[in-house]
Amino acid sequence: MASMTSYESNINKVNESAVDRVFMLGNTAFLLVITLIILLPLVFIVAASFSSAEAVIAGKVTLWPVDFSLLGYETIFEHKKVWNGFANSIFYTFFGTIFNVTMTIIAAYPLSRQDLIGRRVITFAFIFTMLFSGGLIPTYMVVRDLGLLNTRWAMILPTGIGPFNLLIAITFFRTTIPPELNEAARIDGASDFRIFLSIILPLARPIIAVLALFYAVNTHWNTYFQALIYLKDQNLFPLQIVLREILIQNSIDASMLIDIEDLVAREGLRELLKYSLIVVASVPVMILYPFVQRHFVKGMTLGSVK
Amino acid sequence: MGPRSGLEERSFRLWLRIRRNWQLYVLLFLPVLWLIVFRYAPMYGAQIAFRDYLPAFGIEGSPWVGLANFERFFNSYYFKPVIVNTLIISFYSLLAGFPIPIILALSVNQVKMRLFRNSVQMITYAPHFISTVVIVGMLFQFLHPRVGFTASLANLLGMTPPNSMGDPAAFAHIFVWSGVWQEMGFGAIIYLAVLSTIDPALHEAAVVDGASRLQRIRYIDIPGLMPTAMVLLVLSTGRVLEVAFEKVYLMQSPLNLGVAEVINTYVYRVGLLSPILDFSYSTAIGLLKGIVGLLLLIAVNYWARRLTNNGLW
């Protein structure tokens, strides 16, 4: 990083040519356009979620709330299914991530040790699952035969170890823990368990953070596929499945809309509710994300070191 | 005791090294057990693609039928559209989704102002963290013919609001460009990381020689990105048959199924959704997809290696 700034300042000393100035202007404009394109849909959704049902159904909302109202949010807060989904998602994400991270770390450390016989074969066996899998039905059959169908276990156990995450963990251990450390500890009479628990784990904190984020967001919080194929019981549904019912399949518990006689108003609330729901469902990760962004970047960067 | 033979000596040493690290194998036990149960047992189970799987007889007990399930797929009415749809969506995604993050990274890399740079990165990464369900929900709302943004805009301009989500001709475009919208920023991270490792001396020398920014991008930055770009390209070409299930499935409707049914969703439909569950047939299609995908990856990697000296392995 230090070298980077020194070269930037060197370049600044040289006067920028006219060509470069025009280029930089165009470049800035390009990035501004991209940023606006990213922001536009998000701003629209938020604006609509704070509008009145009438404004929404009349198609009047563009980028600012029309007839400011919190009705959409109030309706969501009374929707028990949504809260149940939130609770289930938190459960799956919390325990699932603990399971994933533990499994990944206890696999990655041994596989990062150059002196481990068979490490190439076992690493390849993990990586190979990134390139080829038994497929949907055979995996389903295994989960079924283990009696996990329609249980909370089905949301946790099959996720296990992501090969990409395993790779970045192995890379982390290989690049940050010198082999001499291990030899020195050995000479002092420490066993591998001891080394792992009292030296490796404390050093592994950064990679544990990265893995926890990757698993929590990518494997658990934001996915619905596992739930779609393994769960039947409504009470076990994670948030994403509930969202799918409301946002995509347009099925909203009619009791929520019962006290509204007018059909148009009812239709309006139905749509308004979706906007509010999109906001409510995205807020937890969106609030968290600026704080954890650098961990994600770190993880992606580790992944690019092969 | 006499001297051991070379072979004995070597295997004895090997054994010593294994025994010395026995605790590492204990650590590996659970992960490997998991790998066998949840990843390799299904590969064994995939043999039902060659059988007529009957639940009462189990995997080994069901009768062999050779390639009958594969033939059935080849002769099926759905074979052609499903393959064509998959390839169209995949290659379109690749065509748009591969270069754009590179362009974005090159562009962001030019920005010196820290605040602007960080804001652009922060904003462009954000959509990656929105779940697929919410993204598709947003698409439905944004493009809704009555309450959506496009509808409001059309109303404002006095035009008839379009019904983009109900239009099969628009399906691939919506799928691909919403994907670009969601992933371009996150996809740029890896390239930005690589750009930051390029030796500053190269740029300094180029500046001294009077190279413009555009020339430095062309002759220093882009060549620097090539190895990474090649690896990612090989990976995505190897996955052309794997159109993201979660998103396509959510975007499907009776109106657009003709252009939106892809291999992955078809496998799900015949395997777990239809009234007569056909595990063997579904598995055969999935297996075919997996094998072709693997062969494709090997082939693309081979060519990438020969042409550019970069590849996965």
Residue A102: how many other CB atoms lie within 10 Å:
15
Q: B204 or A258: which carries more pLDDT confidence?
A: B204
pLDDT tens digits along B71-104: 999 999 999 999 999 999 999 999 999 999 999 9
Distance from CA of A75 to the nearest CA of B (A): 18
Q: Specify whether the CB–CB gap between A63 and A48 falls below 8 A.
A: no
Q: Which of A102-106, A288-292, B18-22, B89-93 has the lowest mean pLDDT?
A: A288-292
pLDDT tens digits along A110-125: 999 988 889 999 999 9
Quote the mean pLDDT of chain B. Answer: 90
The pair of structure tokens assigned to A225 is 């596929």
Q: A256 or A149: which carries more pLDDT confidence?
A: A149
- A248–B140 C-beta distance less than 8 A: yes
Does residue A305 carry a pLDDT above 70?
no
Task: Report, as an integer, the average pLDDT of B20-39.
Answer: 94
Q: Express as a percent the part of chain A with pLDDT over 90.
A: 48
Question: Nearest-CA residue of chain B relative to A270?
Answer: B147
Chain centre distance of CA A139: 23
pLDDT of residue A6: 46
pLDDT of residue A17: 83
Does residue A82 carry a pLDDT above 80?
yes
pLDDT band at A4; cut points 50, 70, 90 = very low
The pair of structure tokens assigned to A166 is 């395993």
Quote the mean pLDDT of chain A. Answer: 86
Task: Report, as an integer, the average pLDDT of A87-94.
Answer: 96
Distances A116 to A41, A190, B24, B295 between C-alpha atoms, Å: 51, 17, 8, 31
pLDDT band at A71; cut points 50, 70, 90 = confident
pLDDT of residue B287: 95
CB-CB: which of A24, A56, A303 is closest to B110?
A24
CB-CB: which of B133, B193, B212 is closest to A248?
B133
CB-CB: which of A39, A285, A303 is closest to B123?
A39
Contacts of A4 in chain B (CB under 8 A): 196, 200
- B212–A7 C-beta distance less than 8 A: no
Does residue A143 carry a pLDDT above 60?
yes
Task: Report, as an integer, the average pLDDT of A202-216.
Answer: 90
Distances B24 to A59, A113, A164, B12 between C-alpha atoms, Å: 63, 9, 21, 19
- B34–A103 C-beta distance less than 8 A: yes
- Helix, strand, or coil here: A57? helix
Contacts of A8 in chain B (CB under 8 A): 112
Contacts of A163 in chain B (CB under 8 A): none
pLDDT of residue A13: 47
Does residue A100 carry a pLDDT above 80?
yes
CB burial readout A122-142, b (16+ within 10 A) else e: bbebbbbbebbbbbbbbbbbb
pLDDT tens digits along B60-78: 899 999 999 999 999 999 9
Q: Which of A54-68, B133-147, B181-195 has the lowest mean pLDDT?
A: A54-68
pLDDT band at A304; cut points 50, 70, 90 = low
pLDDT of residue A114: 87
pLDDT band at A19; cut points 50, 70, 90 = confident
The residue behind tokens 């946790």 is A156
CB-CB: which of A42, A140, A224 is closest to B246?
A224
Contacts of B112 in chain A (CB under 8 A): 8, 12
Distances B11 to B16, B18, B19, B83, B104 between C-alpha atoms, Å: 9, 10, 12, 51, 54
Task: Report, as an integer, the average pLDDT of B234-253.
Answer: 88
Q: DSSP per residue over A151-164, as a string? A: STHHHHGGG---HH
Residue A197: how many other CB atoms lie within 10 Å:
12
- A23–B214 C-beta distance less than 8 A: yes
Q: Express as a percent the part of chain A with pLDDT over 70.
A: 90
Does residue A3 carry a pLDDT above 50?
no
pLDDT of residue A52: 86
CB-CB: which of A8, A106, A300 is closest to B190?
A300
pLDDT tens digits along B259-279: 999 999 999 998 998 888 889
Q: B157 or A92: which carries more pLDDT confidence?
A: A92
Task: Report, as an integer, the average pLDDT of A278-283.
Answer: 90
- Helix, strand, or coil here: B62? coil
Q: Specify whether the CB–CB gap between B143 and B154 falls below 8 A.
A: no
Task: Report, as an integer, the average pLDDT of B147-162.
Answer: 85
Residue B191: which residues within 8 A CB-CB, separation 6 or more? B101, B102, B105, B106, B225, B228, B229
Task: Report, as an integer, the average pLDDT of A150-173.
Answer: 94
Return d(Cα B10, Cα B4) in angstroms, integer: 9
Does residue B297 carry a pLDDT above 50?
yes
pLDDT of residue A128: 92
Q: Is B309 left (phi over 0), alpha (psi -120 to 50) or beta?
A: left
pLDDT of residue B280: 94
Task: Report, as an integer, the average pLDDT of B152-156.
Answer: 85
pLDDT band at B26; cut points 50, 70, 90 = very high
Residue A281: which residues within 8 A CB-CB, separation 6 or more? A239, A243, B131, B133, B134
Contacts of B142 in chain A (CB under 8 A): 41, 44-45
Q: Express as a percent the part of chain B with pLDDT over 70.
A: 98
Distance from CA of B2 to the nearest CA of A (A): 28
pLDDT of residue A261: 61
- B290–A135 C-beta distance less than 8 A: yes
- B39–A134 C-beta distance less than 8 A: yes
pLDDT of residue B135: 94
Does residue A65 carry a pLDDT above 50?
yes
The sign of the dihedral angle between the CA atoms of B259, B166, B266, A100 is positive
Distance from CA of A255 to the nearest CA of B (A): 22
CB-CB: which of B30, B35, B141 is closest to A45?
B141
pLDDT band at A5; cut points 50, 70, 90 = very low
- A59–B161 C-beta distance less than 8 A: yes
- A137–B282 C-beta distance less than 8 A: yes
Q: Which of B76, B36, B54, B71 is nearest to A129 (CA)?
A: B36
> Over the Cα atoms of chain A, what is R_g?
25
Dihedral angle of Cα A98, A100, A105, A108, to the nearest 10 degrees: 180
Preferred mutation among B39, B195, B225 to probe A, highest tally of A CBs within 10 A: B39
- Count, residues in chain B: 313
